[in-house]
């Protein structure tokens, strides 16, 4: 299936009836937007003994991602519509996440607690995660994947291609980093531009939106509930006592089958 959350797009493979996740080479071929399908992340759905479903995620370069918030919302919406349920538990490498119907066609997911220990983000050494020793004074956060959040006066003025690629591979981040450029608009609203690890610029990202909102609250720049404006639309992030909740729209674009001819190329 092809799905997207605010333009953050996914290929989702349903393995609930059995089968194995695709190999790295096939993931990279599916990711090719000219010769395959194209995606920001690929996800699989599996049955699970510990939760309603088991989700796994990969980046276009074939690397594994422990979390993908928008894909989680998209899959939750699909399964809730399929089953008539309004709540689901979804086990990921980041933990078991709770999803619920937020009404008006919107879907809400608890992305869990942010990771605020430098070892678990992970960083290469013990530093002040609220003020990293990197020009621009960014904040480090883990949301199942590592994040580096910069606060600027004008997000549109940043050369995201060069800036994002350079900071994704910063030596302080041994597993590379997602990079967020944040412009604070008010105590309850921010503007966000996104560079995703292993992907590049994206129209939206759930984990990046959560990390940006958490970083802004930790800096005292916003409240713990904020409207996040991303290039693809709007997400609402609420950092509560039980975790970081993310709410927004989803879309199931199409369902299809990879042909034997393409698979054998």
Catalogue the active-site residues. 68
Residue 69 annotated in ligand binding: yes
Spell out the residues 6+ positions from residue 106 whose beta carbon is closer than 8 angstroms to its own. 247, 248, 249
Residue 229 annotated in ligand binding: no
Q: Name the CA dihedral angle for 28, 31, 36, 37, rounded to a multiple of 10 degrees.
A: 150
CA Rg, the chain, in Å? 18
Listing DSSP states for 156-193 in one string gives GGS-HHHHHHHHHT-TT-TT--EEEEEEEEETTEEEEE
Other CB atoms within a 10 A radius of the CB of residue 234 amount to 15
Other CB atoms within a 10 A radius of the CB of residue 120 amount to 10
Residue 91 annotated in ligand binding: no
d(CA 100, CA 206): 15
Residue 197 annotated in ligand binding: yes
Residue 34 annotated in ligand binding: no
Spell out the residues 6+ positions from residue 85 whose beta carbon is closer than 8 angstroms to its own. 79
How many helices, marked H, and strands, marked E, lie in the chain? 5, 17
The two beta strands, 189-196 and 178-186, are: antiparallel
Residue 178 annotated in ligand binding: yes
State the binding site for substrate. 8, 41, 59, 69-70, 145, 178, 196-197, 206-207
């Amino acid at each position: 299936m092809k799905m997207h959350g605010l333009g953050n797009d996914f290929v989702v493979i349903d393995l609930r009836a059995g089968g194995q996740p695709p190999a790295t080479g096939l993931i990279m071929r599916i990711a090719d937007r000219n010769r395959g399908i194209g995606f920001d992340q690929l996800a699989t759905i599996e049955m699970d003994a510990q939760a309603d479903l088991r989700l796994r995620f990969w980046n276009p370069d074939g690397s594994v991602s422990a979390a993908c918030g928008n894909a989680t919302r998209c899959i939750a919406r699909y399964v809730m519509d399929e089953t008539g349920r309004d709540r689901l538990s979804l086990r990921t490498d980041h933990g078991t996440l709770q999803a619920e119907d937020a009404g008006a066609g919107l879907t809400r997911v608890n992305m869990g607690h942010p990771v605020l220990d430098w070892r678990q983000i992970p960083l290469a050494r013990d530093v002040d995660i609220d003020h990293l020793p990197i020009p621009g004074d960014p904040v480090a956060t883990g949301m199942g994947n590592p994040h580096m959040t910069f606060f600027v006066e004008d997000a549109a003025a940043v050369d995201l291609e060069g800036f994002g690629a350079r900071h994704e591979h910063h030596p302080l981040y041994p597993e590379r980093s997602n990079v967020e450029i944040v412009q604070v608009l008010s105590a309850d609203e921010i503007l966000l531009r996104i560079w995703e690890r292993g992907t590049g610029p994206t129209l939206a990202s759930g984990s990046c939106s959560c990390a940006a909102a958490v970083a802004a609250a930790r800096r005292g720049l916003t409240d713990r509930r904020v409207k996040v404006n991303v290039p693809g639309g709007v997400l609402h992030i609420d950092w509560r006592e039980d975790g970081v909740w993310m709410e927004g729209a989803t879309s199931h674009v199409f369902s299809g089958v990879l042909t034997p001819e393409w698979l054998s190329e």
